[in-house]
């Protein structure tokens, strides 16, 4: 995980790098640091804590060099302390490196370097990198980096600075993301687009096995043998204000409220008159029409969207669909074949397990379709086909708007394939299209009830455990509701299929256990009522998500979050909204750092 940034230009070095790190803080936030050129020497300032703490350490210092690098850390090797914070330097403090990723052979390299007299100060894997570059340095930083990277095993994105060659910064990509920002009289390097937005819209996305050299007015890219590579500038289509909180107190809240707009944007983009245009690529269309099995692999919230996708693809397109955690999929020799299409789902497009799953499928000679938010991300580039969810930057660590956007794309995909395969009639299609366009308004109605959700949340700030239950297409909603709550509020919550309660978890129920039932009007509505009765009979506190005007649910529940009635297949897009708001409000009420929950990072780029 971790975020890395580099800058070369004439602006205030310290300020540019610190602001860049703030934009990357969601990637890791246990320590941070910068290394800049000042009076011809390297100055390193780093400490454990947030970027705010680093600001205090730097204390507005003006640096007179032109180049600097920065790092925000999510610890893997070595505890969270000032020494383990990046950037790391060589013995003479002339070479500084910010590293995102893991160096798997660091122990062996460290022993070797120690034998040659190098002195290590940290417990990190990353510190071997500046020492290795130092070992190979014979008058050219570029040549030394080329030699060093050939010795590294694992995944790494590096930003390298040296006081011996203060007119350049060098970037290396292998496994972790790295992007060049091409500005006017300035160049930048960053783990993602966010720090670049206020400087330039022109970017060059690096591929694995590439090294770049940036000076104030030039950029060039090479392979690991030093051969120049032809690369092209692409444009970022996100804007600065998309990455700001605006009037909202947290990104998570802003992103929850953005959902109607994200859905509307996608509907307008992907539906043209009587057609869904997701499969306008003829090859993708042919691919989907020739498969009789889909295997979705994803992590966390994206995996929950995949579970909803299973219901949609099976119901509308009649294609057998299996869903797997990427971290399981990649290690268990999954049965792949000509008739199976693998779909990867990822907001960031950088999740290490999901990316490894994509690579595994490709190595076996099969094609991959990915559903991704971040353009040009690693998963998008590794896949044969990409469907973008157009959610804009999602900065809160808890995924909200990406989840509903992923489900919408899965819905549209299922609808289009269903139509093409003859399982959805023109009539059904027109009806569902109209229902889709009503969705943003219906979600807005639920958002208007956020005051009530907050009031209910306030009553449960001291609850120790929650159980979330749902059936059918809202079983994944229960899983996602529980994940949201635990990740932002640190309260234990478990999601379960409502019908499974009596097979074990019912034993948990007592008068202190809040049980959240997701039970809008669907084909399994009546079945869930029985499950609610079972919990009530044992004294559990019932919070429910139910369709407006459902008196039965009102009678059975202690608290009801109401949602408008929608087509059963669209219920997950609405029923999750009060649960996102609930998690948010419990977290705020408990004083948690909602946008940056402890121990987590937005992009999980390590195994
Ligand atoms: C969501 O709230 C989580 N922070 C997490 O589960 C996330 O969904 C998961 O890490 C997958 O990320 P991705 O969608 O970027 O691949």
State how beta strands 465-470 and 514-518 pair: parallel
CA of 472 from ligand 1 middle (Å) equals: 23
Q: What is the pLDDT of residues 137-179, one digit of tens each?
A: 999 999 999 999 999 999 899 999 999 999 999 999 998 899 9
Residue whose token pair is 């246990």 = 30
Question: Are 182 and 200 contacting, i.e. CB atoms less than 8 angstroms apart?
Answer: yes
Atom of ligand 1 nearest to the CA of 398: 2
Residue whose token pair is 């096995």 = 209
Instruction: Choose one of 297, 308, 351 to mutate for the ligand 1 pocket test, by most ligand atoms within 8 angstroms of C-beta.
Output: 351
DSSP state of 315: I
Query: Residue 117's pLDDT band (boundaries 50, 70, 90)?
Result: very high
Q: What is the pLDDT of residues 367-395, one digit of tens each?
A: 999 999 999 889 999 999 999 999 999 99
Q: Which CATH class is domain 3-241?
A: alpha beta
CA of 402 from ligand 1 middle (Å) equals: 9
Q: What is the pLDDT of residues 25-62, one digit of tens each?
A: 878 778 999 999 999 999 999 999 888 889 898 888 88
- Name, in order, each residue with C-beta under 8 angstroms of 70's C-beta and a sequence gap of 6 or more: 4, 5, 6, 17, 18, 20, 21, 32, 33, 34, 35, 87, 98
Burial-class residue 46 by CB neighbours within 10 Å (0-12, 13-18, 19+).
buried
d(CA 517, CA 510): 16
Nearest CA to ligand 1 atom 5: 300
In the chain, pLDDT over 70 holds for what percent of residues? Answer: 100
Query: Taking Cα atoms as reference points, which of 20, 607, 5, 603 lies closest to residue 348?
Result: 603
- Name, in order, each residue with C-beta under 8 angstroms of 59's C-beta and a sequence gap of 6 or more: none
Question: Are 32 and 222 contacting, i.e. CB atoms less than 8 angstroms apart?
Answer: no
Q: What is the pLDDT of residues 490-533, one digit of tens each?
A: 999 999 999 998 898 888 888 889 999 999 999 999 999 988 99
Q: What is the mean pLDDT of the chain?
A: 94
Question: Is 78 a residue whose pLDDT tops 90?
Answer: no
CATH placement of domain 449-594: 3.40.50.10490
Instruction: State residue 186 phi and psi, 5-degree precision.
Output: -160, 150
- Number of C-beta neighbours around residue 522 at 10 A: 23
Report helix, strand or coil for 121.
Answer: coil
d(CA 186, CA 170): 14
Query: Residue 606's pLDDT band (boundaries 50, 70, 90)?
Result: low
Beta bridge partners of 271: 276
Atom of ligand 1 nearest to the CA of 602: 4
Atom of ligand 1 nearest to the CA of 402: 14
d(CA 564, CA 553): 14
> Residue range 551-575: average pLDDT?
97
Angular region, 306: left φ>0, alpha ψ -120 to 50, beta rest: alpha
Question: Are 204 and 232 contacting, i.e. CB atoms less than 8 angstroms apart?
Answer: yes
CA of 309 from ligand 1 middle (Å) equals: 16
Query: Taking Cα atoms as reference points, which of 462, 491, 461, 490 lies closest to residue 599?
Result: 490
Atom of ligand 1 nearest to the CA of 301: 8
- Please state the domain extents for the chain: 3-241, 245-446, 449-594
pLDDT on residue 504 = 84
Instruction: Choose one of 604, 606, 607 to mutate for the ligand 1 pocket test, by most ligand atoms within 8 angstroms of C-beta.
Output: 604
d(CA 373, CA 353): 17
Beta bridge partners of 4: 71
CA of 447 from ligand 1 middle (Å) equals: 23
> Residue range 169-190: average pLDDT?
96
DSSP state of 218: E
- Number of C-beta neighbours around residue 62 at 10 A: 9
Angular region, 516: left φ>0, alpha ψ -120 to 50, beta rest: beta
Structure tokens belonging to residue 85 = 């914070």
Nearest CA to ligand 1 atom 7: 300
Nearest CA to ligand 1 atom 4: 398
Question: Is 312 a residue whose pLDDT tops 80?
Answer: yes
Query: Residue 76's pLDDT band (boundaries 50, 70, 90)?
Result: confident
Structure tokens belonging to residue 323 = 């869903």
pLDDT on residue 13 = 94
Q: What is the pTM of this model?
A: 0.89
d(CA 396, CA 375): 18
Instruction: Choose one of 302, 306, 323, 576 to mutate for the ligand 1 pocket test, by most ligand atoms within 8 angstroms of C-beta.
Output: 302
Structure tokens belonging to residue 428 = 């059904």
CATH placement of domain 245-446: 3.40.50.10490
Residues labelled as active-site residues: 2, 602
Instruction: State residue 516 phi and psi, 5-degree precision.
Output: -100, 115
CATH topology identical between 3-241 and 449-594: no
DSSP state of 269: H
d(CA 401, CA 410): 14
d(CA 27, CA 4): 9
CA of 399 from ligand 1 middle (Å) equals: 6
CA atoms within 13 A on the CB side of 85: 23
CA of 424 from ligand 1 middle (Å) equals: 32
Question: Are 412 and 539 contacting, i.e. CB atoms less than 8 angstroms apart?
Answer: no
Nearest CA to ligand 1 atom 6: 300
Query: Taking Cα atoms as reference points, which of 475, 470, 449 lies closest to residue 585?
Result: 449
Q: From residue 396, how far is each of 71, 461, 488, 584 by CA, in Å?
A: 19, 21, 10, 11
Residues lining ligand 1, CB < 6 A? Answer: 299-302, 346-348, 351, 354, 397-399, 487, 603-604
Nearest CA to ligand 1 atom 9: 300
């Amino acid at each position: 995980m971790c975020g890395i940034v580099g800058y070369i230009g004439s602006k205030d070095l310290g300020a540019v790098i610190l602001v860049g790190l703030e934009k990357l803080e969601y990637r890791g936030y246990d320590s941070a640091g910068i290394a800049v050129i000042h009076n011809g020497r390297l100055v390193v300032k780093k400490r454990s804590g947030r970027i705010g703490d680093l600001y205090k350490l730097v204390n507005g210092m003006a640096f007179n060099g032109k180049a600097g690098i920065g790092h925000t850390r999510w610890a893997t090797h070595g505890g969270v302390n000032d020494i383990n914070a990046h950037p790391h330097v060589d013995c003479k403090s002339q070479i500084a490196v910010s590293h995102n990723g893991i160096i798997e052979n660091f122990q062996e390299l460290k022993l070797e370097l120690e034998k040659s007299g190098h002195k290590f100060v940290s417990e990190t894997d990353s510190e071997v990198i500046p020492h290795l570059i130092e070992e190979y340095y014979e008058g050219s930083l570029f040549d030394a980096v080329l030699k060093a990277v050939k010795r590294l095993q694992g995944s790494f994105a590096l930003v390298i600075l040296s006081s011996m060659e203060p007119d350049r910064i060098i970037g290396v990509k292998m496994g972790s993301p790295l992007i060049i920002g091409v500005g006017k009289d300035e160049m930048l390097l960053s783990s993602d687009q966010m720090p670049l937005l206020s400087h330039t819209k022109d970017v060059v996305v690096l591929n694995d096995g590439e090294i770049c050299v940036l000076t104030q007015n030039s950029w060039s890219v090479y392979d690991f043998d030093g051969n120049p590579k032809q690369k092209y500038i692409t444009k970022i289509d996100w804007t600065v204000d998309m990455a700001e909180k605006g009037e909202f107190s947290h990104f998570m809240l802003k992103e929850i409220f953005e959902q109607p707009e994200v859905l509307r944007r996608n509907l307008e983009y992907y539906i043209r008159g009587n057609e869904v245009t997701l499969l306008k690529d003829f090859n993708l269309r042919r691919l989907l029409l020739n498969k009789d099995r889909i295997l979705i692999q994803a992590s966390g919230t994206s995996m929950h969207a995949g579970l909803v996708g299973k219901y949609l693809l099976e119901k509308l397109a009649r294609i057998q669909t299996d869903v797997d955690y990427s971290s399981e999929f990649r290690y268990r020799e999954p049965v792949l074949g000509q008739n199976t299409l693998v779909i990867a789902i990822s907001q960031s497009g950088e999740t290490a397990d999901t990316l490894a799953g994509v690579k595994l499928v490709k190595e076996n000679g099969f094609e991959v379709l990915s559903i991704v938010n971040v353009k040009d991300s690693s998963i998008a580039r590794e896949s044969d086909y990409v469907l973008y969810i157009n959610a804009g930057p999602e900065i809160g660590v808890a995924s909200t708007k990406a989840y509903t956007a992923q489900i919408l794309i899965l819905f549209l995909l299922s609808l289009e394939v269903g139509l093409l395969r003859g399982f959805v009639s023109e009539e059904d299609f027109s009806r569902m299209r109209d229902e889709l366009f009503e969705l943003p308004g219906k979600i807005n109605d639920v958002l208007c009830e956020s005051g009530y959700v907050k009031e209910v949340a306030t009553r449960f700030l001291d609850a120790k455990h929650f159980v979330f239950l749902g059936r059918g297409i809202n079983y994944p909603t229960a899983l996602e509701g529980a994940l949201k709550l635990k990740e932002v509020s640190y309260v234990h919550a478990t999601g379960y299929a409502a019908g499974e309660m009596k097979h074990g978890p019912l034993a948990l129920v007592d008068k202190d256990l809040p049980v959240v039932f997701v039970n809008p009007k669907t084909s399994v509505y009546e079945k869930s009522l029985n499950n609610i009765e079972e919990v009530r009979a044992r004294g559990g506190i019932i919070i429910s998500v139910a369709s407006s005007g459902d008196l039965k649910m009102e009678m059975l529940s202690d608290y009801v979050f109401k949602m408008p009635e929608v087509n059963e297949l669209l219920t997950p897009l609405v029923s999750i909204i009060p649960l996102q708001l609930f998690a948010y409000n419990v977290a705020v009420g408990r004083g948690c750092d909602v946008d940056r929950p402890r121990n987590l990072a937005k992009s999980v780029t390590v195994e």
